[in-house]
Structure 1
């Protein structure tokens, strides 16, 4: 048990706590912007970084393959940073992850195209994208662990909710940047050079976030473990796999729910609605912005509810709401296309239930191996399920127009059952007395 946790069971958030949450959330938003901005300019990149005689469909496939490589690099990067985060300190890795993101983002914006470098251009693009993936693999888990260990035990939900809102806010920043560039410049200018602005600005964002993190302090939980020589002497990941199998499985299954909600409803739905119901890109972009904004706000509200009601009650209620809102979106726009924005915003608000995921993971692993446990579970689940989701949903759409909603509903039910079935075996999943919470920490 940490002295920090034991001494602050019911204390309110201090000014220092709030400062830490705000800086961490802002940094998370800026870093996630760097990771996601690639997808908004995939069309321009595909024409510039591959041979001009290559068919458009093959250029696009290879470009999205490079985008996907960032996801494949997440587990390795997350595992390495988590190892040193459990050994050397949370803050060091928390700062390093944003440096590892800022550098390749800036370099993508400066890299010459195929016309200048030949096949070296897409190879460099792949290398930089994998560096981004390694960085984001350490950022999410590291940020959740960092903020959860800075606040009193009964404010962990609010902390991870704010951080989750910051991460999803990065998607909104990317969407706004893409909208601004496509509005200010002609399509020809965007394809020729203006797309680089998004990456150059992203690199600057990254270095700004790294500077801001200089003002953060190491977590009291880690400092206490170091003072008492309580740091793990073994490989952290070895202890995770050997003694916390249930925590890994539960964490991966609830992360699957997160990937379904984000990948399907936020990332894929704009394109799906254009194909299924003939919406224009501008119309779906407005809806997507409304949904992402609602998600950012609701994630913070869900975090506060977690501290009061625990993950089981909040997770069950939120999962049911997510299922209903996703079906409402896909059935509603078919008959009332004028309601796209409000229906999409409601669906986005229900995705705030994903704040349950870091809350569950934080309570699934003890402090000495927490970073490694959270990182392994989250990144492995995202690599597997995040990669399979687009393929599965694309196949379902070919059979049923409600296929995306069916998929989200099925995965949300899996997350719901996981929470309920493991509530007794893992007391930290539900609202618990301060003493039990402290013991878990």
Structure 2
């Protein structure tokens, strides 16, 4: 629940602060920062499992991540007291639009049904790529392939690092090029690399470091998507719309994909690659849609 709050909130907060010409790259930095958190979490768990026995972890060691997270959770609360509200929100507050707690949902479902659908499809792309490549792929690969555990663990961390760079790269490129075009090209590259990655595993996985790093970089395409999400909704329902699309879709993906893909992988070893290929085709379709779409409304527009 906490993560579901902070992700859309961070995107909206940054998008409404930065100049319009830096919107895409700013949102990609935010997305990359989430992956930095994943990287540090992995490093912490590796340290924890190295210096503690299984009995120690079972007895009291499992509490340490919760204690550290509780301490770190106070940092954002302090940060909110040091930074001001966005200019768009301040202007909205002065105009007294959307002061009722029920108004955002009323406006959202009355005027933004199309944006909700598009937002949920884009979130499907983000959540699927992130869940499979970063979270699920190591366990799914071990079902059918035998690799050196230390080398594979390092490869996974390297993939996260390259995905961070990929997020920033795609954010910078989409800042200057048509979003739809970049999404199509990025989706094609992701499909090709995901299939090549599994063919490489089937051939023995001798170059797992390079292939996993390339896969992580290609998966960085998720970094450019939030810049479109924040433009789908008007200012007075932007956070409501993004939070609704993001959390509903991510919740569905988070429940169904691990179980469904885990079972499918026991039957077909290429199941993760086939699923990401399916998601990649959705990305291509959305890219073609945005490529032919007229210019977006201004990010500060309001619907009442």
Q: What TM-score do you get using the length of structure 2 for normalisation?
A: 0.92
Where does the alignment leave 5 or more consecutive residues of structure 1 unmatched? 1-133, 429-435
Give the direction of change, closer, same or farther, for the CA distance of 1:389–1:303 in structure 2 (3 Å limit). Answer: same
Q: What's the counterpart of residue 216 of structure 1?
A: 83
Q: What's the counterpart of residue 403 of structure 1?
A: 271
Residues in 1 aligned to 2:112 and 2:99: alpha-carbon distance in whole angstroms: 15
Q: Higher relative contact order by CA 8 Å / sep ≥ 6: 1 or 2?
A: 2
The offset of 1:422, in angstroms, is 4.7
User: Which moved further from structure 2: 203-212 or 264-273?
Assistant: 203-212
Matched, 1:159 2:20: no
8 A Cα contact 2:143 2:266, kept in partner: no
Matched, 1:316 2:209: no
The offset of 1:401, in angstroms, is 1.2
Residues 369-388 of structure 1: matches in 2 within 5 Å? 369-388=237-256
Taking only aligned residues, the RMSD between alpha carbons, in angstroms, comes to 2.0
Q: What's the counterpart of residue 63 of structure 1?
A: none
Q: What's the counterpart of residue 343 of structure 1?
A: 211
The offset of 1:364, in angstroms, is 0.5
8 A Cα contact 1:274 1:281, kept in partner: no
User: Which moved further from structure 2: 362-371 or 316-325?
Assistant: 316-325
Matched, 1:420 2:288: yes
Where does the alignment leave 5 or more consecutive residues of structure 2 unmatched? none
8 A Cα contact 2:162 2:214, kept in partner: yes
Q: What's the counterpart of residue 138 of structure 2?
A: 270
8 A Cα contact 2:180 2:290, kept in partner: no
The offset of 1:339, in angstroms, is 1.4
SS of 1:427's equivalent? Answer: coil
- Structure 1 residues 237-272: Cα deviation after superposition (integer angstroms, max 9, x where no partner): 221111111111111111111122111111111112
Match for 1:296 among 137, 147, 164? 164
Give the direction of change, closer, same or farther, for the CA distance of 1:194–1:391 in structure 2 (3 Å limit). Answer: closer
Matched, 1:229 2:107: no
Matched, 1:286 2:182: no
Residues in 2 aligned to 1:209 and 1:226: alpha-carbon distance in whole angstroms: 23
8 A Cα contact 1:145 1:371, kept in partner: yes
Residues in 2 aligned to 1:416 and 1:238: alpha-carbon distance in whole angstroms: 32
Give the direction of change, closer, same or farther, for the CA distance of 1:423–1:372 in structure 2 (3 Å limit). Answer: farther
Residues in 1 aligned to 2:206 and 2:176: alpha-carbon distance in whole angstroms: 37
Residues in 1 aligned to 2:262 and 2:24: alpha-carbon distance in whole angstroms: 34
Residues in 2 aligned to 1:426 and 1:246: alpha-carbon distance in whole angstroms: 15
Q: What TM-score do you get using the length of structure 1 for normalisation?
A: 0.64
SS of 1:333's equivalent? Answer: helix
8 A Cα contact 1:232 1:369, kept in partner: no
Give the direction of change, closer, same or farther, for the CA distance of 1:202–1:291 in structure 2 (3 Å limit). Answer: same
Q: What's the counterpart of residue 48 of structure 1?
A: none
Residues 15-34 of structure 1: matches in 2 within 5 Å? none
How many positions carry a matched residue from both structures? 301
Residues 238-253 of structure 1: matches in 2 within 5 Å? 238-253=106-121
- Structure 1 residues 90-142: Cα deviation after superposition (integer angstroms, max 9, x where no partner): xxxxxxxxxxxxxxxxxxxxxxxxxxxxxxxxxxxxxxxxxxxx211211111
Residues in 1 aligned to 2:287 and 2:113: alpha-carbon distance in whole angstroms: 15
The offset of 1:438, in angstroms, is 5.3
Match for 1:254 among 93, 100, 122? 122
Give the direction of change, closer, same or farther, for the CA distance of 1:197–1:426 in structure 2 (3 Å limit). Answer: farther
SS of 1:308's equivalent? Answer: coil
User: Which moved further from structure 2: 152-161 or 294-303?
Assistant: 294-303
